Structure 1
C-alpha cells in the first residue's frame, strides 16, 4: 500500500487526505493545532469548485448546506449603481457555505485509512531513505508522497522553493457570520446578497440559508466580508470592529446594520497577498516519490475573484486523477503540467479584476465586462484532466 503524508488540515488538506484514502493510500494527516478545527466564517465556492467536489465524490449534500449567490450588481457607498444587476451575469452562480459545515462533510469522508496527528508543526522537508519526508524537529514522517496544504506561509514550500514568498497586496480583509438569532432584518427591497465598492474599500454580504432554518445555530445567518487598504491591524478584535464601523460609516444599507450586529468574537482578520514568483513546479520530485503543493501553499493570491477554496479543490481533484496513472514522479510532472498554466491564467485575470476593484478614487468607473471576463476565466475549469 502506498503511503502519503498530508500537511495541513484546512479545506485542501482534508479533501486531499480523504481523496487519497479512498483511492487506497495509507494517509497520515498532520495539523499544527492540537486538534482538527473548522475554519471560522464562510467561503464561496464557484462552479469550478463545485465541479471539483463532484470529481472527488464530495458533492452529495452540498445543496443542503450551501446557498446560491446570483450576481446582484455592485453599488457605490451611497447606494447608486456602479454595475447594475444583470450586466455582468455568469452562466452558473457561486454558492456560499459555512466553513464548519464543509469541514464536517470532509471529516465524515476521511475514512479509516487516515491517521490524524495534531500538535505537529512541520519545519523541515527532505529525502529520507529515498522517500520524501517532513519533520517537526522531533519526529520524521515519510511516505511515497507528501502533500503540502499548509497555507501561504508553507514551511514545506519555503524549503523546496525558497524564492517564492508571500507578500502583502497592501490590503487587509475581515470576514464574519452573524447568526440568525441576532442578524438584522434587511431593509425592504434589498436582495439577500450584494456588494458595495468605494475608494479602495469593498463590502460584500450574503445570507446563509433562510432566517429560522437554523434556529439558534451559528451555522446559518448573514455572512459578510470587508476589504480596506493597509496592513493587518494589531488591535484586538473589539478594536478592529470599532475601526470597521468607522471606516464604513455612512455606507448604504445594510452595511451599518450588519457591522452593528457583529460581535468581536465573530470577526476573522486575514491578510490579502500574493505568492510571487510562483514555484517553478507544483510537484517537486524527491527520491522515488515527491511533494505536491496545493492551495495557498502553491499559489496564494488576493481574493478579488474569491477563488481560493475552489482552486484548492481543483488541485486535489487533479492530483487524485494523475496519481491513478502510475509512479509518483510521473504523476507529479503531469499534475504540474495541468495546474501551473491554469493558475497563471487565473492570476492574470485576478490582477485585471484588482485594477477595477481596488481603485481608490471615488470618481472611478467600473467596466463590468472586465469582471465578467475574469469570472468566466476563473470558472472555466471543466475537470481534472484539462
Structure 2
C-alpha cells in the first residue's frame, strides 16, 4: 500500500488530536499553523467523559490522567449562595486540565510522522476536481486528505461550505486560573467549588490540581449576557467585578485576586446551519473537525469533548483506508458526526435558552439546573468506535 498523506490545518485541540491520531495509524501528516509557533492556549479546559473516552481511543488517556483534575459535584446556587439544585452523584462530571498540560499531552503523541509548518495562513483551497490542496498565496500543499481544524473562523469551511454562518450566542464568556500563591483560601461547604446562576449570569469555580503544583490554582469561568467586550483586559476585569458584586463568597475574592493577564475572553458563536463535515475531491477529500465543523454555545462545556470525538472517529474510519477508499471513509465520518452533533446541538440550544432567560423566567426556577444535568448526560453518552481492520 502506497503511503497515505494528510494535511491538518490548525494546531488547536482538534488539529493536534487529529494529526497525532492519523500519524499513529500510518499516515504521513503535515500540520499547518498560521501562528509563528505552536502555542498551548491559556487558562484551563473541561473534558467530559466522552472526551476522555475519545482520548483513550486515540491512545492518550494515560497521559491525560497524569495532568487532569476530576471536577467535583458542585450543585447549583443562587447569587446569594442559597442552594438552587443539590448535587447529583448520578450525573457525570468532567476533568479539568490546564491548556499547557493538554498541549504537552498532544505534542508527546505526534511522533515523527508529523511535519509541523508554522507561519502558514491558508488563503486558498484547491478545487474539488483536483487532489485536495491548500495554499497561503505563495506555496500550495496537496495530499490525499485535508482536515480543516482551523477553528470557528475556519477558512476551509468558508470555502467548502459558505452557507454555514456564524451567529452570536448572545453572551460573552471569560476564564482564568489564579495561581496558588495568589489564590484566596476556600473553606467549608464551598471548598470544592460552586456553580452559581442569576438573571442570565453564570459563575463557576473549582480547584485545578493541588497547592504547590506549577500549573495549578483556582479556576473560574463567567458568562454575562451581551456581546464580547472590545476593551482591554483591565477594563474587562473591572466590569466583571462590577457585574458580580454582591454575589456570594468567594466570588468577589476570586475576581479581586485575578490579574488582567490571567483573563481569557471567548467570543461565543455558533454555526447555523451546520456544514457538511466532509467533501469529496477527485482523488481523496476534505473533512472539517472541531469548531470549524460545529462551533456552538459554550454553556454545555463540550467544545473540547466534541473535537476529540471528531479526531477519534476520523482515526477510526481512515485507519484502513487507501487512496481509492478515502471518499467512502469520509462519507462515514460525515454521517456519524452529523447525527451526533445535530442531536447535541438541539440540547445545547435548549440549555442556552434556559440559562439566558431573564426576569421571572430566569434560572431562579429549577428547570435550567435540571436541564444542565440532562445535557451532561447527553454529552457523556457517546461511545468510542470499536476496532477496525
Q: Which residue of 2 aligns with 1:124?
A: 124
Q: Which residue of 1 aligns with 2:78?
A: 76
TM-score norm. by structure 2 comes to 0.94
**5+ long unaligned stretches in structure 1:** none
TM-score norm. by structure 1 comes to 0.95
Q: Which residue of 2 aligns with 1:20?
A: 22
Asked whether the 8 Å contact 1:128–1:142 carries over to 2, the reply is no
Give the Cα separation in 2 of the matches to 1:221 and 1:295: 27
Bigger shift: 370-379 or 121-130? 121-130
Q: Which residue of 2 aligns with 1:168?
A: 168
Asked whether the 8 Å contact 1:132–1:291 carries over to 2, the reply is yes
Q: Which residue of 2 aligns with 1:248?
A: 244
Give the Cα separation in 2 of the matches to 1:170 and 1:97: 27
Per the TM alignment, residue 76 of structure 1 is displaced from its structure 2 partner at its CA by 0.6
Q: Matches of residues 99-110 of structure 1 in structure 2 within 5 Å?
A: 99-110=99-110
Q: What is the root-mean-square deviation of aligned Cα atoms in Å?
A: 1.5
Q: Matches of residues 1-386 of structure 1 in structure 2 within 5 Å?
A: 1-86=3-88, 89-127=89-127, 130-212=130-212, 214=213, 217=214, 219-279=215-275, 281-326=276-321, 327-361=325-359, 364-367=364-367, 368-384=369-385
Give the Cα separation in 2 of the matches to 1:353 and 1:104: 32
Q: Which runs of structure 1 show a deviation greater than 3 angstroms over 4 or more consecutive aligned residues?
A: 89-92
Question: Against the structure 1 CA distance between its residues 162 and 128, is the aligned structure 2 distance closer, same or farther, given a 3 Å change threshold?
Answer: closer
Give the Cα separation in 2 of the matches to 1:32 and 1:308: 21
Per the TM alignment, residue 353 of structure 1 is displaced from its structure 2 partner at its CA by 1.4
Per the TM alignment, residue 61 of structure 1 is displaced from its structure 2 partner at its CA by 2.9
| SS of alignment partner, residue 183 of structure 1 | coil
Asked whether the 8 Å contact 1:77–1:197 carries over to 2, the reply is yes
Per the TM alignment, residue 370 of structure 1 is displaced from its structure 2 partner at its CA by 2.3
Asked whether the 8 Å contact 2:176–2:219 carries over to 1, the reply is yes
Asked whether the 8 Å contact 2:32–2:118 carries over to 1, the reply is yes
Per the TM alignment, residue 91 of structure 1 is displaced from its structure 2 partner at its CA by 4.7
Q: Give the number of equivalent residue pairs.
A: 379
Give the Cα separation in 2 of the matches to 1:372 and 1:322: 31
Question: Against the structure 1 CA distance between its residues 296 and 261, is the aligned structure 2 distance closer, same or farther, given a 3 Å change threshold?
Answer: same
| SS of alignment partner, residue 66 of structure 2 | helix
| SS of alignment partner, residue 60 of structure 1 | helix
Question: Against the structure 1 CA distance between its residues 121 and 175, is the aligned structure 2 distance closer, same or farther, given a 3 Å change threshold?
Answer: same
Question: Against the structure 1 CA distance between its residues 226 and 369, is the aligned structure 2 distance closer, same or farther, given a 3 Å change threshold?
Answer: closer
Asked whether the 8 Å contact 1:325–1:331 carries over to 2, the reply is no
Question: Against the structure 1 CA distance between its residues 17 and 270, is the aligned structure 2 distance closer, same or farther, given a 3 Å change threshold?
Answer: same
